[in-house]
Amino acid sequence: MLDLETIRVKPTREGRGTTVLFVHGGYFAAWCWEKFQPYLADRGYGSWAVSLRGHGASRTTQPLRSLRLEQYVEDVVETLKAMPTRPVVVGHSMGGGIVQKVLGADEDLVSGVVLLSSVPPSGVGGKEALAWTKLGMGAMVKLWKLHSGKLGPEDAADRTAFPYGMFFAGDLDKDTLVSYGSRMQGESQRAGKQLSRTVLRDPKSVGVPVAVIGGEEDLFFAPQVNHATADVYGVDATIVSGVGHAAMLDSNWVAVADRLIDFLESLEER
């Protein structure tokens, strides 16, 4: 058994029967769902949020930079197998790529999937998905420092050094930004390189319901990327205004959570 952190929130009113598993993306951990989980609980949905190995309180026996995408997939599969029912899985950014790999391995583990500001099935090597590399050298240097673990909690208060603008589009106050930034972390360079390749070769063969949600102001995966992802799954993308890449934490996060709830309710009607 892996030593993985999971944050579990039970419904605060009569349960709806559907449980959600949240899978974070790069630079985050299970904490990043701290707004979504209680919001869903108040509407009858229980949820789990897992920290991938090397993230949050989940341990790893090897350097973070060398972790492979397949190991993250193992973390999600193990968590899914520990859950009492098949959940709807929400994957953010890199987490969306991981969830798509889970679909390719064993889609029977899930009852539905939400790709939130997600890596597209073709990976991040495509022309559209790499648009964020044109933001300028200053932004890229800040992001690389975060990626390589050279920015720590002590840097979170410096808005000129921390790449907040690449994650958040809303008007968040300094205390909120510092609260987020102080918990963000470096990411596996190896896994990042692996994401440049295809994560799911045949999305059209997926047999479980899929939803695609993105932020209008996302600088990593712009609306056209989300629309392209939705097209290959045969669904329509939902694009939420006033939301950047970290859609679950941005100032308009409630609108994003409501779109997730819309999808959950649609599954109950099937």
pLDDT tens, residue by residue, 179-216: 999 999 999 999 999 999 999 999 999 999 999 999 99
- The residue assigned the tokens 């932020």 is 215
Give the total number of structural domains in the chain: 1
Cα separation of 1 and 3, whole Å?
Answer: 7
Does a structural domain hold residue 138? Answer: no
215-231: burial string, b at 16+ Cβ within 10 Å, e else: bbbbbbbbeebbebbbe
> Mean pLDDT of all residues in the chain?
94
Q: What's the domain range around 91?
A: 6-127+188-268
Does a structural domain hold residue 173? Answer: no
When pLDDT is cut at 50, 70 and 90, the band that residue 79 belongs to is: very high
Percent of the chain at pLDDT > 70 equals: 96
Cα separation of 51 and 116, whole Å?
Answer: 17
Cα separation of 127 and 3, whole Å?
Answer: 37
Does a structural domain hold residue 230? Answer: yes
Q: How many angstroms separate the first and last alpha carbons of the chain?
A: 35
Does a structural domain hold residue 168? Answer: no
Q: Mind listing the pLDDT tens digit for each residue in 53-66? A: 999 999 999 999 99
SS (H, E, C) the chain: CCCCCEEEECCCCCCCCCEEEEECCCCCCHHHHCCHHHHHHCCCCEEEEECCCCCCCCCCCCCHHHCCHHHHHHHHHHHHHHCCCCCEEEEECHHHHHHHHHHHHHHHHCCEEEEECCCCCCCCCCCCCCHHHHCCHHHHHHHHHHHCCCCCHHHCCCCCCCCHHHCCCCCCCHHHHHHHHCCCCCCCHHHHHHCCCCCCCCHHHCCCCEEEEEECCCCCCCHHHHHHHHHHHCCCEEEECCCCCCCCCCCCHHHHHHHHHHHHHHHHCC
Q: Mind listing the pLDDT tens digit for each residue in 22-60? A: 999 999 999 999 999 999 999 999 999 999 999 999 999
Does a structural domain hold residue 228? Answer: yes
**Cβ proximity of 169 and 249 under 8 Å:** no
Does a structural domain hold residue 30? Answer: yes
Residues 6+ apart with CB under 8 A from 54: 60, 64, 67, 188
What pTM value is reported for the model? 0.96
**Cβ proximity of 218 and 189 under 8 Å:** no
CATH number at residue 107: 3.40.50.1820
Q: Mind listing the pLDDT tens digit for each residue in 219-263? A: 999 999 999 999 999 999 999 999 999 999 999 999 999 999 999
Strand partners, 20: 47, 88
Helix 94-106 vs helix 69-82: angle between axes, to the nearest 10 degrees? 70
- Residue 84 pLDDT greater than 80, yes or no: yes
What is the structure's pLDDT at 140?
84
Residues 6+ apart with CB under 8 A from 160: none
